[in-house]
Amino acid sequence: NNYNIHDFDVPLTTVDSVLFTVQDGQLFTLLVQRANHPAKGMWGLPGGFVDTQQDTDLDHCAQRHLQQKTGIEAPFLQPLVALGNGQRDPRGWSTSISFYALMAHADCQHYVDTVSDVQWFPLAQAQQMSLAFDHTKILDLALKQLQQKALDSLVLAYALPETFTLTQLQHLHEVILGRSIQSKSFRRRIEQAQVLQDTGEVSDTQGKGKRPSLYRLKPDIAEYRFVRNLEA
């Protein structure tokens, strides 16, 4: 009844976000350079402590830090993992609750261009960097989840412009998976899923053949899980 957390050695709670985007056929992730100790000057994931006065919940906390540190409002923050132990932060026993999102490059580039301590890194480069805390581990886990989503679901359309061709959608899945997928099987699954609307318009891509149709995601399709995934 008269529980006081200050009587205990309470662990820290931080929230971190992994953002992905695809640009020029390459997967990128967003990093920020730390302005304060510990790990001052190192690059890491955008995030920070829960503020019990400001943050209504963990998701809100993640969005607040993203907004403050990168100017980005992420469209769909998906829960990733909670990592907590006595070693990951020199300030004390600490838990990082992480989220991840894949977003369109266009939605976020303006602010990032204006500051020096926020930057999109090619994923392969970011994975080789020495990141703050255990952020390399969190980044690796996020990539694994994103790749599983690229097999299981169509959520990836959110990283494309509002209208897109089926070839663009397939290419996005391929960039994330790091390998090609069978076009026939991909299109059959998308058809079965019934999550795309034909806009009636065609792409203005230059080329010899018929111009490809433009599609958009049906409203309220936050995440569709393929009944058969793409490996089948």
92 vs 161, which CB is nearer to its own copies? 92
CB of 218 to its own copies, least distance (A): 21
Listed residue (86, 80, 89) closest to 14, CA to CA: 89
- Both tokens assigned to 64: 């607040």
Q: Which is nearer to its own copies, 11 or 161 (CB)?
A: 11
Enumerate residues 75-94 that contact its own copies by CB under 8 A: 79, 81-86, 91-93
Cα–Cα distance for residue pair 205/161, rounded to 1 Å: 14
| 193 counts as binding its own copies under rule CB under 8 A | no
Give, as ranges, the residues between 26 and 65 that touch its own copies (CB under 8 A): 37-38, 49-50, 52-53, 55-58, 61
Rule CB under 8 A: is residue 97 a binding residue for its own copies? Answer: yes
- Of 58 and 112, the one with the shorter C-beta distance to its own copies is 58
Closest separation between CB of residue 13 and its own copies, Å? 5
**Residues binding its own copies: number (CB under 8 A):** 38
Q: Residue 64 corresponds to which amino acid?
A: R
Q: Show the tokens assigned to 138.
A: 């969190």
Q: Does 222 participate in binding its own copies (rule CB under 8 A)? A: no
- Would you say the C-alpha torsion 34, 113, 23, 59 has a positive or negative sign? positive
Which residue, among 31, 55, 211, has the nearest Cα to 63 in the 3D structure?
55
Residues lying near its own copies in the complex (CB under 8 A) are found at 1, 3, 5-6, 8-13, 37-38, 49-50, 52-53, 55-58, 61, 79, 81-86, 91-93, 95, 97, 227-229, 231-232
